[in-house]
Amino acid sequence: MSNAIVKSTFSFPGQTAVYKGKVRDVYTIDNKYMVMVVSDRISAFDVVLPKGIPYKGQVLNQIAATFLDATSDIVPNWKLATPDPTVTVGLKAEPFAVEMVIRGYLTGHAWREYSAGKRTLCGVSMPDGMKENQKFSKPIITPTTKASVGHDEDISREDIIKNGIVSEQLYTQLEDYTNKLFERGSQIAAKMGLILVDTKYEFGMIDNKIVLIDEIHTPDSSRYFYAQGYEERLLKGENQKQLSKEFVRQWLIENGFQGKDGQTIPEMTDEYINQVSERYIELFESITGKSFEKADTTNVTQRIEKNVLEYLKTLKS
């Protein structure tokens, strides 16, 4: 467990800023490039849990890189290279202050709202009589605000435009990209015997053009069901077999934690941490069809620094 990457304190040549997110540490270089170190930290209910998950960062980084490459014909993205298993280097963008959440099925947060009696989510109507994990007639987009600290909040298309967070013209383009990316991700997942249930995308602007930023189609940003047995489980009202971070959220809920004031994060035993690590690796292999090769973590910070420095030299040459 000691080799899980839970923090980074790099100082790269030309470094002008550092941003420490829930999972990612982002180093800005020359106000033009971004070095994104994907840590092994894990968050749920907008809270970073006290222990890291070995190889989680590598899983997230390599899945995201795979899907950024597989969708670059739909929308350009920020990625330039992945010089280390846990690092992506790309172009700095000005991010939009919303996250584009798209849902193909009634599950997770949407189901919790639905089961509480709500029939509208982010201004989008949901029909009566649906079951948990049932497919929507067509995917719905339920955006959230992008909070630098604290909780992201649901927000409607109308409020985004009315409050001037994103112009109507740009938001319409974000919706189009979101639908096309979700369709592509669903097609790729289907080939692997999976269902892409829901996900979120983040976008920014570079030279007045929209680009896809951050991660895409990873278990932190997405939920997958196994296609085999889906219909049977739905008819029986059984839980779906899934690959996502939802199992972590459910474990926390079962142990009395939902990120609310006064609640205590349950103990994360070594056994549980290993189980979570194995689930992340399982998703990598299931969605990519490749065997996961664990990177050497003997001197992980030195490895990352060496690989990043060597790549940054190529940008300046």
Domain edges within the chain:
95-244
Residue 242's nearest CA partner among 228, 260, 261, 253 is 228
Cα separation, 41 vs 10, in Å, equals 17
* pLDDT recorded at residue 245: 81
In this structure, what token pair is assigned to residue 186?
A: 């669903």
Q: Is 306 helix (H, G, I), strand (E, B) or coil?
A: helix
What does the angle CA 71 – CA 75 – CA 81 come to, to the nearest 5 degrees?
65
- Report in angstroms the alpha-carbon separations of 107 from 58, 125, 135, 153: 27, 15, 9, 18
Contacts of 272 (CB under 8 A, 6+ apart): 251
Over residues 263-310, the pLDDT tens digits come to: 999 999 999 999 999 988 988 999 999 999 999 999 999 999 999 999
What would the pLDDT profile of 248-266 be if each residue is shown by its tens digit? 988 999 999 999 999 999 9
pLDDT tens digits along 108-133: 999 999 999 999 999 999 999 999 99
By residue count, the chain amounts to 317
Mean pLDDT over the full length of the chain: 94
What is the side-by-side strand order in the sheet with 24-29?
A: 15-20, 24-29, 33-38, 87-91, 79-84
Q: Are 166 and 98 in contact (CB under 8 A)?
A: yes
Task: Indicate if the pLDDT at residue 229 is higher than 60.
Answer: yes
Question: Which distant-in-sequence residues (6+ apart) come within 8 Å of 151 by Cβ?
Answer: 46, 259
Entry pTM: 0.89
Nearest to 197 by CA among 156, 236, 158, 233: 233
Q: Hey, what amino acid is at 106?
A: L
pLDDT of residue 1: 46
Give the three-state DSSP class for 314: helix
pLDDT over threshold 70, residue 88: yes
CATH no., domain 95-244? 3.30.470.20
Tokens of 286: 């299931």
Q: Which residues, 6+ apart, have CB-to-CB distance to 248 below 8 Å?
A: 42, 44, 49, 276
Residue 2 has pLDDT above 80, yes or no: no
- What is the percent of the chain with per-residue pLDDT over 70, rounded to a whole number? 97
Say if residues 234 and 134 touch (Cβ distance below 8 Å): yes
Stretch among 12-21, 174-183, 209-218, 274-283 having the lowest mean pLDDT: 274-283
Q: Confidence class of residue 243 from pLDDT cuts 50, 70 and 90?
A: confident
